[in-house]
Amino acid sequence: MNRESARTRVWLLALLGLFLFGCGHSMSATVKGSKKPKQKTCTLGERVEIDNGGFRIVQKCVSEENLTVGDGRMEMTEWDFPIEDSFADALREDCIIRSAWVEMELRPTKNPFDESLAVRNRWEFGLEEIRSLDPDSGWQKVEIDMMRRPGGRSPYTPQTLRELMLEGPWSRLRIEYGYDAQISWAKIDLSCK
């Protein structure tokens, strides 16, 4: 093989590698809040919302034992992960989601057995990772692969995630957490190809 054909072969292999491995898109989005959010006292039957940075804490006060909103007890924490325009454009062009990881910093306020983490009004994910947290260990980080579930398939398939991220007028992924924890930080890492 002469030097010119070897050089051509190297260029072709480099272009093929770029096509196979470099034609993907990735993005990250982070939401932050305080580890000590504002608290508010409520009355029975009242629904209260408190903003905590990029998070919204929501509680309907239905019990005499829990009339404080923002303390991480019997409340929902909601937030949106914004989807970058370039990533949304790639999804619209049928870029297939290959990974979707959520990382959170939270402090369980009691045994996390009944906790729920979900795309708003959809199926739960991350239950095993959250339910294994120790409520006496303070602030803890947890990483969750949305597309894989131990012992079974995740309802969050690449196509389902794509549809959820593109529904509505804004590209975002709407998340909700309940019921007994405070959340100070959340991040999503996405890739598609």
Q: How far apart are CA 135 and CA 181, in angstroms?
A: 9
Q: Which residue has the higher pLDDT, 170 or 134?
A: 134
- Alpha carbon distances (Å) from 188 to 14, 103, 137: 31, 6, 24
Q: Quick one: pLDDT at residue 4? A: 58
Q: How far apart are CA 139 and CA 150, in angstroms?
A: 24
Q: What is the pLDDT of residues 24-83, one digit of tens each?
A: 899 999 999 999 999 999 999 999 999 999 999 999 999 888 899 999 999 999 999 999
- Give 23's pLDDT tier (boundaries 50, 70, 90): low
Q: What is the pLDDT of residues 101-110, one digit of tens each?
A: 999 999 999 8
Q: Quick one: pLDDT at residue 20? A: 42
Helix (H) or strand (E) holding 35: none
- Alpha carbon distances (Å) from 67 to 60, 71, 144, 181: 9, 10, 31, 16
Q: Quick one: pLDDT at residue 19? A: 44
Q: How far apart are CA 170 and CA 10, in angstroms?
A: 43
List of E strands, 44-135: 47-52, 55-60, 68-69, 75-82, 97-108, 116-119
CA dihedral 113, 185, 73, 132 (to 10 degrees): 20
Percentage with pLDDT > 90 across the chain: 64
